[in-house]
Amino acid sequence: MKNFTNRTKVALIILCYLGLTLFMNSCKDDGTPPNCGCESETLEAIQAQNYYYNGSKKIKIYNSKNSFISYDKVGQTLAEGFNSVKTSSAKGFTILEDKKPTFSIKKFIKKQNNQISPALLLNPNGKFKIFPTKTIRVKLKVGKNKNDVLKLFTSNEILKTEDKHGILRVKIKDIHEVLKIANTIYEAGIAEFSIPDFYIPIKLNQINEAGNTGFPVSNFYTSYLKKINAENF
């Protein structure tokens, strides 16, 4: 009986060790609280793609774990999880920044058809954030028009298009598809550029410093960066 008891203890110790190892591997050190429930894995799947095109240059992006944009109505429970909450009624979205360490956004992200997306980072360890919106700005090549864009999509992904000063504004239904739709338009070879209309929370007097922050903008995009920020808030 003694030998059997000792073997049982050893088996239990091994099982506990294996269970702990699996748990630690599934919740890697990514800055989330110890009871994270693997929130980072949930966030990785929000945007359909992890890159966008700045002109012809392909830019890789990363999800922020602490800042989000929401097109859903932000209730008290969600708002209290962040130190900064700013709503633009005109644009229909709320910027949530500086998530509190003990707050988990996973349950809000998992809701069906939710319209909450993380801010995007150009450096996985960086602080400079860009927020995707439901608008894509497209400069079409000569001889192309909005019908060339619309025929690329057949599932009501696009709500409407509007041409302003030679730039086609494409309004989309699902914020989670914004990168995929923008990239599809550019990769079809019909546009000089196709870029999500990012909201960039920087002061107007910081625009000339955009290059120093690592934000890769084309000369054309730089020229109306001030206008974009003025329109959003």
Tell me: pLDDT of 100 over 50: yes
Is the pTM here over 0.75, yes or no? no
Please say whether the beta carbons of 103 and 33 come within 8 A: no
Q: How high is the pLDDT of residue 151? A: 94
Tell me: pLDDT of 4 over 80: no
Nearest one of 87, 66, 63, 64 to 75, comparing CA atoms: 87
**pLDDT greater at residue 151 or residue 216:** 151
- Lowest mean per-residue pLDDT among 88-97, 160-169, 204-213: 204-213
Please say whether the beta carbons of 173 and 156 come within 8 A: yes
Tell me: pLDDT of 212 over 70: no
**pLDDT greater at residue 77 or residue 207:** 77
- Mean model confidence pLDDT for the chain: 75
What is the mean pLDDT of the segment spanning 68-84? 92
Q: How high is the pLDDT of residue 37? A: 39
Sheet holding 158-164, edge to edge: 158-164, 167-172, 135-140, 191-196
**Is residue 206 very low, low, confident or very high in pLDDT (cuts 50, 70, 90)?**
very low
Q: Dihedral through CA 31, CA 36, CA 40, CA 43, nearest 10?
A: -130
Provide, rounded to the nearest whole percent, the portion of the chain with pLDDT above 70.
64
Tell me: pLDDT of 30 over 60: no
Distance of alpha carbon 15 from alpha carbon 67, whole angstroms: 38
User: Which ranges in 163-218 belong to alpha helices (H)?
Assistant: 178-187
What is the mean pLDDT of the segment spanning 164-177? 94
Residue 96 neighbours by CB under 8 Å, 6+ apart:
67, 68, 69, 70, 74, 78, 79, 81, 82, 84, 85
**Is residue 110 very low, low, confident or very high in pLDDT (cuts 50, 70, 90)?**
low
Distance of alpha carbon 17 from alpha carbon 23, whole angstroms: 10
Distance of alpha carbon 95 from alpha carbon 120, whole angstroms: 13
Q: How high is the pLDDT of residue 66? A: 92
Provide, rounded to the nearest whole percent, the portion of the chain with pLDDT above 90.
51
Tell me: pLDDT of 6 over 70: no
